[in-house]
Amino acid sequence: MSIETVRVDLGARSYDVRIGQGLLDRAGAEITALAGQRRVAILTDETVAARHLAGLQESLARAGIEAPALALPAGEATKSWSRLGDAVEWLLARRIERKDLVIALGGGVIGDLAGFAAAILRRGVRFVQIPTTLLAQVDSSVGGKTGINSPHGKNLIGAFHQPALVLADIDVLTTLSPRDFRAGYGEVAKYGLLGDEDFFEWLEANAAGLASDAGLRQHAVRHSVAMKAGIVQRDETEQGERALLNLGHTFGHALESATGYSDRLLHGEGVAIGCALAFELSARLGLCSQEAPSRVAAHLAAMGLPSRIADIPGDLPDDEALIGLMGQDKKVQDGRLRFVLARGIGQAFVTDAVPPEALRAVLAQSRA
């Protein structure tokens, strides 16, 4: 299967997302034109380093690029001020300059942290995303959102900083645990739900084969990236349409925060529950048919994803506390919660007109 390219067209900040098999092994050849004689440094995590770092460094070495690496602990807790400081100081100690290249090798945590480190180092250094999870390939590596978490909430500290290149090797996804693959799939389903009913229908028919069939996987990743690129091109800094990419995230981020960003609930699982809740809320408000939330929940369940708050193991804060956590969402404007709701599958929109009673009723129903 050939490698496909999706161009993210942002004028001087344009870049290619290369999608296909064997890209990690080709990384040196892919990066060499960007790197030239410049220094290259890799930020990764310990789990990804054990699997993929040697292969990447060998590929870079074949292209004459020597690239030292810093492996941070794996997990959401790494998106912190202290790990960001470690990464920035390490890059400075390696004398990484503005035109040098930082490579983010890993999932969303590493991509977000490395991208933010690159954004603030010397007021902006170029970086390449090599996403190693499904979530990072279809969402977080594309579009230039970078950042870290605060005890006040997820991704509250950050910057827009577009990568110079994204290499999405779909073979790497076969090394993920089934749970991590499924969680990333929550973000793939999101694209169909927010803006493309035909893609959702394709996923209903084909998604069960994604983990094992490279052709299906490449199609799903390429289509998701193309949808994201289109949205980012029209609204790079989220003044409007880009907020649709947060379908399921207002609920999802609150649930992630309520579970302490732990293994109890992975980000993509929170998004899956959040998408189901967004459709439940939409149906309750008469915006979409009753069939739509049932179809969403049925597909998530078929893919082994949670779709209800009750699916989260352990105790959770009460509804008022959850609504309080939603109040830290970046979509909040003038203190009003804003939700991505839907008029049907593939027809999402943003609104702040959600009566609190309807929100409470949907939360209560999802806990039962």
Residue 277: strand pairing partners? none
Rounding to the nearest 10 degrees, give the CA dihedral for residues 345, 349, 352, 355: -20
Using CB under 6 A as the binding rule, the residues of this chain from 306 to 345 that contact ligand GLY are none
**Interface pattern 129-148 for ligand GLY (x via CB under 6 A):** ----------x---x-x---
Q: Of the ranges 64-72, 86-94, 241-249, 320-328, which one interacts with ligand GLY (CB under 6 A)?
A: 241-249
User: Rule CB under 6 A: is residue 245 a binding residue for ligand GLY?
Assistant: yes
User: Rule CB under 6 A: is residue 236 a binding residue for ligand GLY?
Assistant: no
- Taking CB under 6 A as the criterion, the residue among 154, 161, 222, 242 binding ligand GLY is 242
Active site residues: 123, 145, 187, 228, 238, 242, 246, 249, 253, 267
Please say which residue, 143 or 270, places its beta carbon nearer to ligand GLY: 143
Count CB-CB contacts under 10 A for residue 187.
28
Residue 25: strand pairing partners? none
Q: How far, rounded to the nearest angstrom, does the alpha carbon of residue 195 sit from its chain's CA centroid?
A: 17
Please say which residue, 267 or 308, places its beta carbon nearer to ligand GLY: 267
Which residue has the CB atom at the shortest distance from ligand GLY? 245
User: Rule CB under 6 A: is residue 195 a binding residue for ligand GLY?
Assistant: no
**Interface pattern 74-93 for ligand GLY (x via CB under 6 A):** --------------------
Distance of alpha carbon 53 from alpha carbon 22, whole angstroms? 14
Distance of alpha carbon 302 from alpha carbon 127, whole angstroms? 37
CB of 249 to ligand GLY, least distance (A): 7
Please say which residue, 143 or 186, places its beta carbon nearer to ligand GLY: 143
CB of 246 to ligand GLY, least distance (A): 6
How many residues bind ligand GLY (CB under 6 A)? The answer is: 6
Distance of alpha carbon 58 from alpha carbon 218, whole angstroms? 25
Please say which residue, 139 or 196, places its beta carbon nearer to ligand GLY: 139
Count CB-CB contacts under 10 A for residue 177.
8
Distance of alpha carbon 97 from alpha carbon 94, whole angstroms? 9
Can you spell out the DSSP letters for 86-133?
HHHHHHHHTT--TTSEEEEEESHHHHHHHHHHHHHGGG--EEEEEE-S
Binding positions for ligand GLY, rule: CB under 6 A: 139, 143, 145, 242, 245-246
